[in-house]
Every structure is written in structure tokens, then in C-alpha cells.
Chain A
Amino acid sequence: MTTKLSIKELESSFAKIKGLELLIGKIVEEEWDEIVGPTPYPSITDLRAWDHRLLQRYEPFYSPFCDMCCLCTFGKCDLTKGKKGSCGIDIRSQQGKIVLIACLMGAACHATHARHIVNYLIEKKGRDYPIHLGEEIELEAPLIRLVAGIKPKKLGDLEEVLDYIERQITHLLSATATGQEESYIDFESKALHAGMVDNVALEVADIAQISALRFPKGDPDAPLVDLGMGVIDKTKPVILCVGHNVAPGSEIINYLEQSGIYGSVEVAGICCTAHDLTRYSTGAKIVGPLSRQLIFVRSGVADVIILDQECIRTDIIDEAKKVGTRVITTIDQVCAGLPDMTKSPIESIIKELVSGSFPAVLIHDPAKAGEVAVKVALEIAPSRRAKIISDEQEVLDAVLRCKDCGRCRRNCPIDLSIDEAVYASHEKNFGLLAQIYDQCLLCGRCESECPEHIPIVSAIRVAAMEKIRNEKYKVRSGRGPIKDTEIRKVGRPIVMGEIPGVIAFVGCANYPNGNKELVEMADEFAKRRYIVVASGCAAMDIARYKDEDGQTLYEKYAGDFDAGCILNTGSCVSNAHIIGAAVKIANIFAKRRLRGNFEEIADYILNRIGAVAIAWGAQHQKAASIATGANRLGIPVILGPQGVKYRRAYLGRADKKENWTVYNVRTGKEVYAGPAPEHLLYVTESKEEAIVTAARLVMRPNDTSKGRMIKLSHYIDLHQKLYGIIPEDLHLFVRTEADLPLTMKDQLLKVLKKRGWEPMELPDPTLLERQIIRRE
């Protein structure tokens, strides 16, 4: 970024200047000779035409949570029955605005995370520290190259990208104020922009930490690490890290190593910071996804909790205080009303924490926080543990207060029959409570509603104690990016459709029926030789189940980016590598230029790469922004039923033939290519629907007949297995007879005949007129 200063003519007492031009800014050593595409560092309107093209086919579908707009002092405005608010907004645009705000929350979280980690690493290693992701990865930053149009070589280069992201977020946020944007389609275009910059922020954060903290660099054999509430050794002092930013957690490990006592203190994590701790050191342990937070903190196992950023329960400090656990917050996003002791001497901070005069403090210095955490844990663990009295009897007594009013169930986000389970405990039957544990989000909303103040989550913990003790699983540590060599191997079969698809399990732990369904879905696709990838809490929850041989899916399947494998890329920010893999295929396999060339690559992915994400338990705004960014690149996302609360989907209409035309690059003709992929963002009500929908959404207009045949075989087979019938929409996905699975060809031809099927052209597809190379 440069500023130009021009002085045509200046005459003063000290100088006479004529025709002076000064360029102030960064000198970029240009070593990348790829031609710059049309949209390097795109503004909030540069990709609007692409967005509108997408949104014309995949219209926003809104499910308002609230009938009103409450965003300014004109309100509350009732927007039902077509009414407008005082500012003129209608319900559709108001929903678009809310969606944009949610995506911006997510993008801002990832941007600040990236800024924090880059600043931290620059401070430790310097601006010139190289970005290096291993010998087999030359395409180190596909999203940065694509969007920013630069090839980052050093940590310092990432600052420029972050400046851009932060500017975009500010511009987009301003559009949500009263009296700014008014069109729902343009709110959505802006949400897509927010999603795109979010995805870039993910990549910034992860390539910085992979390079500078020496995380696994695309290693398919990344080590198997411990996961589960049962893996924590309670005989040792325990430090628990919660959140997403690994800086303070890594400093705990550094301090323990420097002191020669690593191994005598347990370092564990909840949520994405746990993934990254194990990427930093295999000695760290993962307690579990964010849903384990309340129950684990209440167990009193942790001596010290380190909080960094995102997905932290806002009552965690109160809960920790109840069991005598000390808390240190470390990032400016989470100050929690605590005294700032960043500049206090270490010994005095330790004294305050150990004595309990300040049971929780704020330290904005990761290294200092790490040292304090270790020293405090070592000091308080023995005496604190001795004081923790088993609360089992107290909990059992409490459930006797239950009057079976049912309000706990009515306040449960997923409508679990908690009332029946609690009431059954009157008869000393704790089996139902233990069953609830398998499905429960452990959010504690039932407790807040209980008029008898029964600690229901604690009761569930006591009832399920045996299960919790046995929660000992293995997850493959987050491997980070996909290697260029892997892309070379699978690029062609993915684009031709011969590998039936890439299915990514992403997002949070807000499941409708527990994590088992997620495991079943991942297993189903891996068995069928799709490429299965996972990240974030979903990657952890895939590990939280063992088969009859006592293996988790990570032990059962290899960790390559290849057919029939399951790999864990890592934390939320590692989602960049899943999305980046699609971009890499376009570049490495198809030789498409990336540099500032967003539309062409998105068009390529939408029409040719059968990748679909399933966010079965999506909950956070970050998941909304990640998904929306993937959507702009043409990657469909399927949500579990709780995802309906994001209030917006992008749905196609398979019955509207006119919506499914593409240009044939080789003739310039506009031809019908079938509804593939049918939706960009779709909410499913059940696991079965999610599986079959994913098998349908991996189909692409570019599939070869062999590829489409393979995809159709799975789609038909899954449809029959889970729904009991041949798909009603089969005729929409068969272009020629050669697409039909050979073993079912005669049977399917009869079905097609009944449905009036006619063969269709197989185009070389694009939505962009400028991609046409020849017109007939």
C-alpha cells in the first residue's frame, strides 16, 4: 500500500520545488511473475456481479427469529405482514442486515485472532521470519494469493493482508448502520465479502503459526494425541486453556520445558486452542469441544484456567471460583471485569492468585501468563485438591426437589426430555440422566430455568461419571495444509468426478442428537471412498467414539488427502486449508491463475470441484462467516437442524430450468446443465437427509460420464438405503445414458422413461461470459 505525494510547483523561503513526486510506503520485492488478475484486494463492490449471479440462482431464504427490528431508537418496529420499519426497512432486508452482522462478528473474531497471533510471532521471531510450510508445499497461501494478489514470504507480509481485512470489515460494518444499505441482495453480497475476508484471515493466522511455531506441515501421519475428559491425569497439577489463540498455551509449555518439569503438569485444552496445543506439543491433551466447558470446569479438575479468545462461556470465571480454580485471561477481547496485572511483578501476581485475594486476573502478556499459570498451579494443586469434596451426594439430594414441571425441557435448545430424566432420579434411577449425557449440549440453560435451582448439568455429570472416566480417545493432531503433491494426485479424479467428492465436517458441537451421528456420517463417506476432512470441534467429536475394535475413525483410516481417508486439518483457522485445497486444485491441476483472480477460480470450483461441507453442529457466528466465504467460492455447505437459527439459507430451485444454464466455454452456447450443485447453503432436519444431500451436492456440471456414474451410484444407493426409494429427482442428474451406473442401467432407464427424461449436452461449463474461448 503506497501513498503518492505530488508537488507541481512550490516556492518558499527555503526551497523552490518543481514537479516533485514522492511515493511513501512499503517497497515490495516483486519475485512473483504471475499476471495480476482483475480483483487484487477487492473492495466491497468489486465482486458484486459474481455475487449477484450466485444469488440469482441460489436465492436467499430467510427464517426470521424475530418479527421486529430493534436496532435503533425508532424501534421496536413490527415488520410482519409486509410492514416497513420507521427507517423504511422490510423484513427481508432486515434479515440480510442481521446475517451480515453475524458474518462480520465471525470475520472480526478471525481477523483479531490473526492480528494477535501475527503480532505475537513477529515480536518473538521478527518480521523477516519466513513463511514456510514444508518442502512439498510451494503454494503456501492459496487464499491470500487469490484475494490479496500477493505471495507472502515473511511474517511481516501478513500485516499488509490484515490491514486490508480490517479495512473491509470496517466498510462492511458501516453498511449495517441505519440509513445505509437497503437491498437484501446487496446485504448478502456484503455478507459474502465478509465471508471471503474471514477465510483469508483464517489462512493468515494458520500459516503464521504453522511456520513460526513448527506445527505439523501437511503431515498425513501427524501424531495421534489424547482426547477426552478421562485422559487428564488428576494426580498432577492441571492447567486448562480455553479458546482459540495458542500463544499463552504455548508459553505454558515453553516455561515447563525450560524449567525441566514438562510432564509433571497436565496441559489440556477445550475448543480450538486444544487442537493447536497438540500441534505445538504432543504432550498436551484435548479435553474436548466447547460443549465440555461447563461440565469440566465444574469437575474442579483444573487448578488454573487460561482464557484466550472466542467460544468462552461468559460465566466461566464464576464457575471456576466455585471450585477454587484460578483464572487468567490473556486477550483484550476478554477482560471480564478483572484487574489488569500485566505490568505487576510476577511474584506479586502469584501471591494474589494463590491467596485468592484475586482469584482471577488479566495478564496481556502470553509469556508472563504462562509462567504465572505454572507457578500457581504447582503451588495450589495439593491443598486445593484436598479441599474439593465430592459433590455427588449434594447433587443426588438436589434432584429430589424436582416437581416435574417440565420447564427444563422447554428451555433446552434441542428439546431433550431432561424433565423425565431428572424426575426418574427420584427412584434412584440415574440411567436416563446418563443417557442424556450422550446427547446433551451441556449448556446449562435447563438449570437457569429450574424453579428449584437443581444443578442439572452437575447431576448429569454424576450420573454419567463412569462414561466420563472412560472417555479416552485418540485424535490425529491437526496436520494443517494439503500438500501440493497430494493435490497433483487427486486433482484430476476429483475434477473428473472419479473420486466421488470431498466431504468436510466442520463447525461447532451444537448437535441435535449428540456426536455419534457425526461419526456415522464421516464413517459412511470414508467407507465409500470420498475424501473426508475435518476441522475444529467437529474434528474432535469425530474422535469421541470407538468402534467395536476400540478404534476411533482416526485410527481406522489414514490421514492423507485421498479417497477413503479421514484427516484433521486442525483448529477453526485450519478451515483455510480445506477451502484452500479447492483453490489449489484449480491452480495446480488446472493451471488457473490465482493472483487477484477470484471470480474465475470461484467459477471453476462451483462448476468442477465436488466439495461439500457439513456443519452438523454449527453454532457460532464464526461458522456462519466461514460457510459464507466458502459459498462465495462455490462450495456448498449443509447445516444440521440447529443451523436454521442462522436464519438464512441459499437455496436453488431444481424445477426452474432457466436457473441452471451455463455457458459452454468451447462454443459460447448457453446450455442447461442440471441443478448441480442444487443448493449453496441448506439446512437438513436429520442425519439421513444430510448424508443424501451431500451425495447430491457433490455433483458438478463438469463431471465426466464415468465420474457422474460414480457419484450417481452413491447417491442412488444412499437414497435407497436411507429413504427406501430411487431418487425422485434422478432424471435431473442424468445427462446421457453413459452417466447411469452399469449394474442398474436397465432399471434406471425405465424410471427415466416414465419421468420424460431427455439426454442433455455435456458442456465445458462456466458462468462467466469472459471465459468463453470460442463462439459458434
Chain B
Amino acid sequence: MSATPWQIGDVPGPKQAHILRPEVFPKIVKTLKRPLIVVGSRKEVSEDKDIANNIVIMAKSMNSPLVVSPSIFKSFMKFKDVKVVCMGIEDLVNHLKEKEWKGFDDKGNYDSILFVGGVYYFQSQMLSTLKHFAPHLKTFSMDRFYHPNAEFSFENMSEVRWVQEFKGMIEMIKSSSVS
């Protein structure tokens, strides 16, 4: 299966992301032992309360901390029942690429990084760093843009469809985590 990068020229080379179907992701979630969700600075994500709420629900269901890009941290600091860390994304990625990093709980590095809400071209480059220098990590792009530098990425989709799919996916993750 192939897809074209959201930014048409963002073609990295022979290794491009597998397309991730929202309905399949809840099954994958069960295989992730130490996930980390990274929320970028795109205002469309932080300013939409539903999306922000859904991201937090996802984090809780997956037992994942949230790392939030500093400019949108204020939108997330009110959520008390999930660990929210305010950190520059480049700084974070620099830590993640070290296999032996202890993580935010001193229990070691994470095994899977889920990106959402990043500025497209910035996030693409962060994913590229992890693709090349962090073979110990699986990377997922949960945005509505196909990110070829991730290991798994949603395909390009409209905002309306993405909001629907994302919500549906969260429901599935939530219910499967409860069961």
C-alpha cells in the first residue's frame, strides 16, 4: 500500500511509513509496552477542546504520558489524571534517540512514540531523526497527514474525516482497555 506525503515534495527515499488504519490501531495498542504520546504546537489541535480531550483519553487508556510542545502546554495542564510534560520537541527527540534514556519515570526509554498535532514539516524532520537514529523505537503519526518518515502513519484525509476517525479510534481503545 502506498500514499503520497502530505507535503508533496517530502519524499525521503526508500523507507516510507506503512499506512495505519484507525480501526486497526486499537489492536496495535495492545502490543505497545511503553508508549509515549507527543503533542505538537498546531493550534487547530490544542484549541479544539474535543480533540484535546480525546488525546488525553487516549493517553489515559494507553497508560501513556503526554509530552506537550511548550506553546500549547497551557491547554493541557488542567488535565490532572494523566502525566503531562512540557518539553521542546527537538529536545525530547534528542533524549528519545538514546536507547538507554531513563524516561520521565526513571524506568527506561519508551518503545513507541505517537505524534499528533505537530507542525507538518517540523514533525516530519523529527520523525526522520527517529527513523535513522532510534531503531529501538516504533513511531506513529496520528495526524490527518501522511508522514512518510514515521514507521506507521494515517493516510491523508480531510479534517472532518480525521476528527470522526480519531474519535472512533479513541472509543475503541478506551473500550478495549476497559475490557
Contacts and interface: CB of A to CB of B under 8 A. Distances in A.
Given A68-B13, A685-B119, A651 B71 contact: no
Contact of A66 (B13, B71, B73, B88): B13
Interface string B87-117: 0111101110000000000000000000000
B85 to A, nearest CB: 8
Contact of A67 (B13, B86, B88): B13
A642 B77 CA distance: 27
A21 B6 CA distance: 70
Which residue, B88, B126, B131, has most C-beta atoms of chain A within 10 A?
Answer: B88
B46 to A, nearest CB: 11
Interface residues of A, number: 49
Contact of A644 (B7, B122, B131): B122
Given A61-B94, A683-B90, A689-B69, A67 B14 contact: yes
A644 B7 CA distance: 15
Interface string A663-690: 0000000000000000100111111110
Interface in A643-660: 644-645, 647, 649, 651, 653, 655
Give chain B's interface residue range (CB within 8 Å of chain A): 35 or more
A80 B86 contact: no
B105 to A, nearest CB: 14
Contacts of B129: 61-64
B64 to A, nearest CB: 19
Contacts, number: 124
Contact of B9 (A62, A92, A411, A642): A411
Contacts of B40: 685
Contacts of A64: 12, 128-129, 132
A411 B70 CA distance: 27
A486 interface: no
Contact of B90 (A415, A651, A723): A651
B135 to A, nearest CB: 7
Interface string B122-151: 100110110111010000000000000000
B128 A653 contact: no
A279 B129 CA distance: 43
A78 interface: yes
Interface string A692-723: 11000000000000000000000000000011
A118 B153 CA distance: 54
Contact of A685 (B77, B85, B95, B122): B122
Contacts of A722: 70-71
A590 interface: no
Nearest to A63: B125
Contact of B119 (A62, A512, A725, A728): A512
Given A407-B8, A723-B74, A685 B89 contact: yes
B35 to A, nearest CB: 21
B121 interface: yes
A725 B73 contact: yes
Contacts of A689: 41, 69-71, 88
Interface string A413-430: 111000000000000000
Interface string A246-282: 0000000000000000000000000000000000000
Given A67-B15, A688-B71, A411 B86 contact: no
A132 B175 CA distance: 76
Contact of A61 (B70, B90, B119, B131): B90
B120 interface: yes
B144 to A, nearest CB: 12
B123 to A, nearest CB: 9
Contact of B135 (A65, A81, A655, A679): A81
A413 B120 CA distance: 10
Given A61-B129, A82-B135, A407-B8, A415 B70 contact: no
Contact of A63 (B77, B95, B126): B126
Contacts of B94: 61, 651, 653
Interface of A: 61-68, 78-82, 91-92, 407, 410-415, 449, 512, 641-642, 644-645, 647, 649, 651, 653, 655, 679, 682-689, 692-693, 722-725, 728
The 8 closest A-B pairs by CB, nearest first: A67-B13, A686-B71, A63-B125, A688-B71, A724-B74, A644-B125, A641-B122, A80-B15
Interface of B: 6-9, 12-15, 40-41, 69-71, 73-74, 77, 85-86, 88-91, 93-95, 118-122, 125-126, 128-129, 131-133, 135
8 contacts: A61-B90, A62-B133, A63-B125, A644-B125, A685-B119, A686-B69, A687-B71, A723-B73
